[in-house]
Structure 1
Amino acid sequence: MNADNPTPEMDSAAFGASTETAADPAQQLAALEARLVEMSDAYLRAKAEGENIRRRADEDSAKARKFAVEAFAEAMLPVLDSLEAAIARPDATPEQVLEGVHATRRQLVQALERNKVVEINPPAGHKFDPHQHQAISMVPADQEPNTVVMVLQKGFLIADRVLRPALVTVSAPK
């Protein structure tokens, strides 16, 4: 036998059919139809499972978006309580009010830090970073060019992403 000239027996053997089953095409057809039904069922089950996974992921994502602010809101409640307590004391002295404002600010800073909100407050002489700072003006200064001279408004990061850039004045080139 030559591999270039296969015989009919080699063809049927190559496809997994023996000469005995080749004699009964009705049995082959029935077996193939059963296999088709089985594969169709498996496909439909896999497709349904994929759709269920996608639907559950969409629901989880929607819940995460809806309740993402929950921890932050919970951290802000003590700050609100302190402000309401201050309003409830109209007879407080200016010193007491100032002390309460400082305490409330500390609460607010702690609540922000717990929620990964940190301030951007570069010291004078710090290199200007356009990703975290917004230059309002350039002024002549006795320091390196393109460095922060003064912070006009602090900026904030939330989990390493700029929430608000720091507003700064920058030293002009000499």
Structure 2
Amino acid sequence: MDQHNAAGVGTAPPGYGTDPNLVTPHTPWPRTLSERERALIGVLADIILPGTGEYPAPSGMGITDFFDEWVSAPYGTQQGHRAVITAGLAMVDAEAQRQFGAGFVELDPSRQRAIVDQIASTTAADRKFFIRFRSLVLVGYFTSDIGFKAIGYVGNVPLLGFPGVTPEAQRIIDDELRKLGL
């Protein structure tokens, strides 16, 4: 349904804006995670996907910004993820308090890992958080420039020529075509 101003000229409907500009990225919605939640995300992400000598841990490449933008988005899917993530972060911090008398971020790494191991292998509610969290860590990391480099993804680049299929691959293709009678 078009909305019109007094002169009858069409105007954009109210809302949060247009799709993101991928050339010069800008998020048109406010970030909504607290500093505590962001700190928890950084520590948890680094436990799930530790850094290596060559590649930084997720907290070192901006995973908290990815999470904050994702769960702050005004879309249904992301808002559903927000509910799971924020409730899960609160559960992790509460469990750390219950077991060790301190917040999760303040615990030593062995205690943090013990809580993550418990969450990853227990109840459905806890697992739902862990599965969603782990998925977002992997998506955020491996769709970043650092993640692309880690998996050897070079993207859509021009080739000087197309080398074609290797002889070994061609033999497999030919064998399968013969089996199909083609």
TM-score category of the 2 structures, normalised to the smaller one: under 0.3
The structure with the greater share of residues assigned to strand is 1
Structure of larger gyration radius: 1
